[in-house]
Structure 1
């Protein structure tokens, strides 16, 4: 069976706009949270978020790309540029139809939509909309513009499965390479949801933390006093490549993607199944495809958004899927990055891969009192990174609508 490896990575995150800076801040236990600066959030229930800082799209994007794209697409182009640069592919020498883009976006151009509707409502009688309104809004323009920028003419589309989106995109790219439909994919996800409507909508659901006076400690997965997630934004990009193709060109291989699976809870619009039945099955199927025994899984980057129900539901699923968790170490890195929605799985896949490369489990920060409901035998790594042998790592991503997606990486 065709093997699939990771040969390039790129990142735009609340903790840095390149992979190395991002990873060092993750290991350092740095929080990316703060008061919202994108708009006046004074009257909102939630007034904090994990914003991208010091983002200069001009480093990789030209003026027309910036003008024609919403922020989520700019993040996508920036991260994809880094990943392809890192992979060192000789694109002019390759058949462009051998290289595709499968990207992930949950919401799309929220900022564009809100600005255009506001301009219409507050403007003159004659409706005026930007000719770039629709292209900036629709989610598939991220994958489309990546392909245009680099002349990639293979399979191209954007996946949408809420917060499971990036893992969905990675799984699809993985499967297409295994089927011989492509040699290389740029995959991952991006999101730019720190806008009045997006923050207001999630806030109205009481899904987000309201610890506005202490943003650095607001996202606290597994802590007894957690009160919801903190919104994040950014992008993560990975270059997936057929193993023999990568080996032949002497590419640096970060890890092998060995398993991926999706299931549905078929339970509730926004809440996970309380016993994690769908999540458990996704993990089991991903491990089976990876041919990794549950006791040989070393590290899990969980979905763990810091919600009272979701965190425990996922851990129940872990126990159901693995049985013996004595070898497994878990860290919830959303405690530092916030929840990037459709981009979450992409940056967390990068974290899982870096954990394998550096043989270290990053920490979960802001855990003062572990929830008593955490199942016995679960090892949560808190506050400090933990050096240990990591040969196999899993990353989970779950989304509204009951979407569950798990991916498994292995040391090569």
Structure 2
């Protein structure tokens, strides 16, 4: 590892996960390597009458394992999962001392694509069935997209920069990028970054069914999502939260931490093509990767592994395949939504954890 003030890389020193195949780094990674599937029937609501009745739920998650009953009642599921992942990541990094010693130098970036969808729909049900006077007084703060970042900051005592980004499926990836920006500029020594999504709800599922984006293979949930397969028929909706601890070189050296990996470049572009589908030629995807490689000073032939979006949709798989091929046609690719489902806003953070662990363990899932 390079030392001194000239090293502006962001080092990944810990990860935390709540996923359909396991909670915490060890459970998640071992399940992923074993090819275990998190797909199954929807249980978070009654899907009777829906054309899609399968999802990837975090069935083992209990918020009371990570917070008291009162805190759980005042937060939406996506914020509960985010707080759990943040605590797990800090445990994994052994970085609680940073919050105790200098909380103003700890940053926070937690994204979500939709936010408190469950609380929004529960509140609407209460208004219709019981009247507006019966609405939970915490409804608004449960629904707000920044509630996950807010509750993490309050409960953990984070006093540095705080960001809550909402960029649909890219917000988890951009959370990592924003965390890298904070480290690179010297605005923080440690950044808790990631994303969370819990939107297996009647409205969200019905909306994606109407978009014809989801697989209808209800009788075969474990094989319903087939990224880059000739028989791909759409994604399986999932839920997850993932958090990475990023640190500056100085912080890593001071603590004697052992990083999993480091981030040396990011790339951001905008397709300006369609609200849901990428440019069919993959131009925006390719351009973002080119910018990241240029910033990191990495040549194409050094790219050995790509963890793609890989939703299993006709509109998405083709453009992404073209873009990856232009970068390095020999790079290995692992499309993990086939077992984890599509966790929407959280997915980029999930892939970030996978990349960090792949580098650390020298193993591709």
With structure 1 as the length reference, what TM-score do the two structures score?
0.85
**Secondary structure of the equivalent of 1:186?**
strand
- Distance in 2 separating the partners of 1:170 and 1:358: 20
Partner in structure 2 of residue 103 of structure 1: 110
- Tell me which of 68, 77, 83 is aligned to 1:77: 83
Moved beyond 6 Å, runs of 4+: none
- Distance in 2 separating the partners of 1:50 and 1:332: 15
**What are the equivalent positions in structure 2 for 1:203-242 lying under 5 Å apart?**
203-242=209-248
- Distance in 2 separating the partners of 1:77 and 1:228: 30
> Any stretches of 5+ residues in structure 1 without a counterpart?
363-412
Partner in structure 2 of residue 372 of structure 1: none
The Cα of 1:356 is off from its aligned counterpart by: 1.1
- Distance in 2 separating the partners of 1:287 and 1:83: 27
How many residues are aligned here?
358
Partner in structure 2 of residue 55 of structure 1: 61
The superposition leaves residues 235-288 of structure 1 with CA deviations (integer Å, 9 ceiling, x where unpaired) of: 001001101211121112111011111111011111110000000000000111
With structure 2 as the length reference, what TM-score do the two structures score?
0.96
The superposition leaves residues 188-226 of structure 1 with CA deviations (integer Å, 9 ceiling, x where unpaired) of: 000001010111111111100000111011011111111
**What are the equivalent positions in structure 2 for 1:238-387 lying under 5 Å apart?**
238-320=244-326, 322=327, 324-326=328-330, 328-362=331-365
The Cα of 1:316 is off from its aligned counterpart by: 0.6
**Secondary structure of the equivalent of 1:144?**
helix
Normalized per residue, the structure richer in strand is 1
- Distance in 1 separating the partners of 2:166 and 2:340: 21
Partner in structure 1 of residue 51 of structure 2: 45
- Tell me which of 122, 125, 144 is aligned to 2:129: 122
Partner in structure 2 of residue 376 of structure 1: none
- Distance in 2 separating the partners of 1:80 and 1:312: 34
**Secondary structure of the equivalent of 1:304?**
coil
- Distance in 1 separating the partners of 2:67 and 2:350: 21
1:157–1:92 distance in 2 versus 1, CA, 3 Å? closer
- Tell me which of 196, 213, 228 is aligned to 1:190: 196
**Secondary structure of the equivalent of 1:169?**
helix
- Tell me which of 164, 177, 186 is aligned to 2:183: 177
The Cα of 1:330 is off from its aligned counterpart by: 0.6
RMSD: 1.1
The Cα of 1:93 is off from its aligned counterpart by: 4.4
Q: Is the CA contact (8 Å cut-off) linking 1:226 and 1:307 kept in structure 2?
A: yes
- Distance in 2 separating the partners of 1:173 and 1:350: 14
**Secondary structure of the equivalent of 1:227?**
coil
